[in-house]
A and B are shown apart, each in its own frame.
Chain A
Amino acid sequence: MLSRTAAHLYWIGRYMERAEFTCRLIEATIRLTALGDHESGDRAWRSALSVVGVQADFDRGGEAFSAAAVRRYLTLSEDNSGSIRACLAGARDNARAARTALSVEVWQAINRAWLIIRDRSRPGNPQATLNLIEELKAEIRGFEGAVGRMLRSEGCWFIELGAVVERGDNTARLLDVKYYLLLPPGQEVGGALDRDQWTTILQIVSAKTAYRHIYRGPLQPWLVADFLIFRHEMPRSLAASAGESVELLGHFAALSGRQGPADRLARQRLDRIEDLDIVTVFQGGLHEWLHTYIGENAALDGAIARQFRFG
């Protein structure tokens, strides 16, 4: 496979995953703001901006802050390289360039998602935004399904590798923005507002019922952190991302008979997570630990690009 094709596929995976994450972020924030007052609503949208790391960009853009403005910025803005539109445009550009490496179904799902958002100039009221996001999520699920039915070879592994690297980054950033809510075990539990926030976090990673299934008790902030970092069963947890990247790189190694720095980095990261628990993480500081994780994830991203000669 051409190195350039590999890069396109990898970025399709990253962009589609990021588009989906931003969809769920907006969806959960709309739900959260529906519960609280105006002021907490503004806080929630500020927090949404920082989860995807564009708060400073938004402020620089000069647009007056409002819930509607942020909603538009995250959904449709062409100035925001992380908006859903920009992600889908990026995915489609890469898909066009790697057309021959994709099945018709994968291409069509990406193209249809793009066509849904291409001509929208405003997201409309919260209900209209939710409808738009529902439509997009359906196409993105179609994309994931179609990737799952691609020939099990390098093509789909690169897409999945991109998705897994992106997913780890997203979950870590989400936790990092909310870390002050995720108190260590034993600390005093917040009020109803905090509980809404924890619920929101779980909704963003679409794991609310999964949490109840695993922990069976009421929502505990430190268990939410445990869940999103350590539980392999939870597909968007950091441990699951770390495990999956090792597995995917293993497929390439089995095919070519060679391993490289990306394999080593991925395995070391997985080993470290497996030797750790949530109490230790809190002792060293959740925020610090997440920063290290985000840095390692970026290093893995670079190592993958170099190993497959597209860096």
Chain B
Amino acid sequence: MAERSAFDELWGVSRGKTARPGFEALAEWIAGAPPGDLQRRQQAAEAAFRSLGITFNVYGEEEAAERIIPFDIIPRIFSADEWTRLSAGLEQRVNAINAFIDDVYGRRQILADGVVPQDIVLGNSQFCIPCAGAKPPHGVYAHICGIDLVRTGPDDFFVLEDNARTPSGVSYMLENREAMLRLCPELFEAFSVRPVDSYPELLRDTLYSVAPRGTREPTCVLLTPGHFNSAYYEHSFLADNMGIELVEGRDLEVDDDIVWMRTIDGRVRVDVIYRRVDDAYLDPLVFRPDSALGVAGLMAAYLAGNVTLVNAPGTGIADDKAIYSYMPEIVRYYTGEEPILPNVETWRCREPAALGHVLDHLDELVVKLVDGSGGYGMLIGPTASSREIETFRAALKAEPQRYIAQPTLALSTVPTLVDQGIAPRHVDFRPYVLTGSAGVRIVPGGLTRVALRKGSLVVNSSQGGGTKDSFVLAGRHGEAETP
């Protein structure tokens, strides 16, 4: 795949000859940097990240499990027009996601109308049976969505994946920008970059806006699984920047369907929980009984309407990979519009014809578990060994309904600092979409993940991916409309 020439975010299809219109200053900046200068700045950024403790833990590694995510100093840029189109598409998609979740836990009209097969929803491991019939305060389910986008050409953006449970990575968007402002201030003179630092405030507003209706000033908290969790830094960063308490399950208790947190002055009532704990661990009385991360009775408090959970339990039904393939239909069904952001072509292996096609083309396709994430449980045909392919073939035949397949896309590239100098590396992009009681808000930016190995398409941090800052440029007249 690396042989196919991919669209480059800086050079377009010119193969490094001419920068895309409006991005010339970045090409000049790269060309004009004295030898070793970019490396030095990048090392300074990484040293700062380590000293701040901006680390993530890798599952399955006991020793020295705290790593920093490699940071690449060459930014990825979106023009104002590109962003206008992307944000319209994101808003449309997230509105559809929330409508879909509301429907499947309520009237189930979309199933009755046969747009999405009933068994794929009701028989799905992500379908939260205790949530059926429950309506969260203000009717919002997926308050925070991370929509993974990829690009293959000038106008070809696709949604690769929806993350409607507890998407992570937004702290890197913010810290990467901080590092760029400090280390490369000249880039911000050359480009009119829209700021992203209002994200914690917007998130805070979102949380407060969905508090259960009442007269008191609501108390919001961020629930973390604890400081051994891979995203703990982000949890503490966000809680800190929003000025809310960072709590663990053992700090909370439920009494008569009311959630309380234990403080040095006694109990304080909690109204909104931005939880970064998965559904399965939320409440040992309802979900996994062995979970020590959650709070006994939390679901009862939620179902009684006394506390808002952000995101609501059960949102996994919308980002399941089996459901993903129906997203274009779902968008049309609830919005009455054509999807602005198309899906990647997807074969549902549960359908015999699709399965046949997939089995015949395993060496060309990407095969994914419908309930996998983080780049685990995935076959990348073109780079897989024949042994891996045969393992997947057997697994596909045994349980076809657990898999989908997609073509290997020529993901766009961005010039990236590597050992040998500067070389194109494949990227994806995760913007963060907030939905509060008054609708959708999007900070102009997101997380660009880059596959640092040559030719690699796997951008996950747990698999050797890095990150870049993502510039969204202000409109031509310099107006920086608020997000």
Chain A interface residues toward B at CB < 8 A:
1-6, 93, 96-97, 99-100, 104, 107-108, 111-112, 115, 154, 256, 308-310
Residues of B within 8 A of A5 (CB): 245
Q: Which of B50, B261, B263 has the most CB of A within 10 A?
A: B263
Complex contact B236–A99 (CB within 8 A): yes
Report the bound CA distance from A89 to B191 in whole Å: 44
User: Which residue of chain A lies nearest to B53 when distances are taken between CB atoms in the complex?
Assistant: A111
How many residues on B have C-beta within 8 angstroms of the other chain's C-beta atoms? 23
Stretch at the interface among B75-83, B157-165, B246-254, B422-430: B246-254
Q: How far is the CB of B31 from chain A (nearest CB, A)?
A: 36
Which residue of B236, B240, B262 contacts A4 across the interface (Cβ within 8 Å)? B262
Complex contact B227–A2 (CB within 8 A): no
Q: How far is the CB of B34 from chain A (nearest CB, A)?
A: 30
Residues of A within 8 A of B52 (CB): 104, 107-108
Report the bound CA distance from A99 to B233 in whole Å: 8
Within 8 A of A (CB), among B227-252: 227, 232-233, 236, 239-240, 245-248, 250-251
Report the bound CA distance from A189 to B91 in whole Å: 85
Which residue of B226, B261, B264, B266 contacts A97 across the interface (Cβ within 8 Å)? B226
Given A97-B227, A99-B246: A1 touches B263 (CB 8 Å cut-off): yes
Complex contact A100–B262 (CB within 8 A): no
Complex contact B263–A96 (CB within 8 A): no
A selection of 13 A-B contacts at a CB cut-off of 8 Å is A1-B264, A2-B245, A2-B261, A4-B247, A6-B264, A96-B53, A96-B232, A100-B240, A107-B52, A154-B264, A308-B264, A309-B263, A310-B264
Q: Is B265 an interface residue (CB 8 A)?
A: yes
User: Which residue of chain B lies nearest to A112 when distances are taken between CB atoms in the complex?
Assistant: B51
Q: Which of B53, B232, B251 has the most CB of A within 10 A?
A: B53
Which residue of B51, B227, B233, B264 contacts A3 across the interface (Cβ within 8 Å)? B264
Residues of A within 8 A of B261 (CB): 2
Q: Which of A6, A99, A100 has the most CB of B within 10 A?
A: A100
Chain B interface residues toward A at CB < 8 A:
50-53, 226-227, 232-233, 236, 239-240, 245-248, 250-251, 261-266
Q: How far is the CB of B246 from chain A (nearest CB, A)?
A: 5
> 14 more A-B contacts (CB under 8 A) besides A3-B263, A4-B251, A100-B246?
A2-B247, A2-B263, A3-B251, A4-B247, A4-B262, A97-B226, A99-B227, A100-B245, A108-B51, A256-B265, A308-B264, A309-B263, A309-B264, A309-B266
Which residue of B50, B240, B248, B251 contacts A99 across the interface (Cβ within 8 Å)? B240
Q: Which of B51, B247, B265 has the most CB of A within 10 A?
A: B265
Report the bound CA distance from A294 to B108 in whole Å: 68
Given A108-B51, A111-B53: A96 touches B265 (CB 8 Å cut-off): no
Q: How far is the CB of A231 from chain B (nearest CB, A)?
A: 33
Residues of A within 8 A of B226 (CB): 97
Residues of A within 8 A of B233 (CB): 99
Residues of B within 8 A of A107 (CB): 52-53
Q: How far is the CB of A19 from chain B (nearest CB, A)?
A: 18
Report the bound CA distance from A256 to B239 in whole Å: 24
Given A93-B227, A104-B52: A3 touches B262 (CB 8 Å cut-off): yes
Residues of B within 8 A of A93 (CB): 227
Complex contact A100–B251 (CB within 8 A): no
Report the bound CA distance from A74 to B240 in whole Å: 36
Complex contact B227–A111 (CB within 8 A): no
Complex contact A100–B236 (CB within 8 A): yes
Which residue of A97, A111, A256, A309 contacts B262 across the interface (Cβ within 8 Å)? A309
User: Which residue of chain A lies nearest to B241 when distances are taken between CB atoms in the complex?
Assistant: A100
Report the bound CA distance from A310 to B250 in whole Å: 11
Which residue of A2, A256, A308 contacts B251 across the interface (Cβ within 8 Å)? A2
Q: Which of B240, B262, B263, B264 has the most CB of A within 10 A?
A: B264
Which residue of A1, A111, A154 contacts B51 across the interface (Cβ within 8 Å)? A111
Report the bound CA distance from A4 to B248 in whole Å: 9
Report the bound CA distance from A99 to B239 in whole Å: 10
Report the bound CA distance from A198 to B251 in whole Å: 48
